[in-house]
Amino acid sequence: MSFYDSTVPAYLQILTSLTGLLAKAEAHCEARKIQPEVLLNARLYPDMLPFTRQIQLACDFAAKGCARLSHSEVPSTPDTETSFAELQQRLSKTIDYLKTFKPAQFEGGDTKDVIFPSGPNATATLKGQDFVNRISFPNFYFHAAIAHGILRHNGVEIGKRDFLGMA
């Protein structure tokens, strides 16, 4: 399996499933007369980031991860989304961006150095495979799973099949 095949499709699967989760969350708000901001700003715990930020970070870890793995320019995306429609647009743009990558861009990426931020004023370097396994995928799946958990905790009727994009 190529390095491309082990990364890009995995990101695309979950980003696509997040678009479905957003649609169900918006429908949930409409059906129950809940202001969208209630879910958009919901957290699993007070010291955790809100739903909106979870979606933004999932997008960032996918897009920036692919850019770093392919040694492409890392995109900068401002975190300005405040509605379901804006989050859907961000997911759509991220999905479209990932679809621009070609397998050849990832050749040898598993053994190349990847430099990434590791704090406000620090960077770290790992080989591509280690970067995917230890940084990019864990963070990507964490934020996607927390987004799912926030919605489920708030009564949106979703399950594992929704998270996997198989519902």
20-71 confidence digits (pLDDT tens): 999 999 999 999 999 999 999 999 999 999 999 999 999 999 999 999 999 9
Residue 140, token pair as written in the block: 């990507």
2 CB-near residues (< 8 Å, 6+ apart): 103, 106, 107
Distance of CA 26 to the CA centre of its chain: 18
Nearest Cα residue to 17 out of 148, 157, 151, 150: 148
Taking 3-state DSSP, the helix, strand and coil percentages for the chain, each rounded to the nearest 5, stand at: 60, 10, 35
Please name every residue paired with 127 in a beta bridge, in sequence order, or none if there are none: 113
- pLDDT band for position 93 (50/70/90)? very high
Note the pTM of the prediction, 2 decimals: 0.96
Cβ atoms of 85 and 23 within 8 Å: the answer is no
Residue 74, token pair as written in the block: 């890392």
- pLDDT band for position 133 (50/70/90)? very high
Q: Residue 167 pLDDT > 90, yes or no?
A: no
C-alpha dist (Å) from residue 61 to 34, 155, 160: 30, 27, 21
For 21, other C-beta atoms within 10 Å of its C-beta total 26
pLDDT number for residue 160: 96
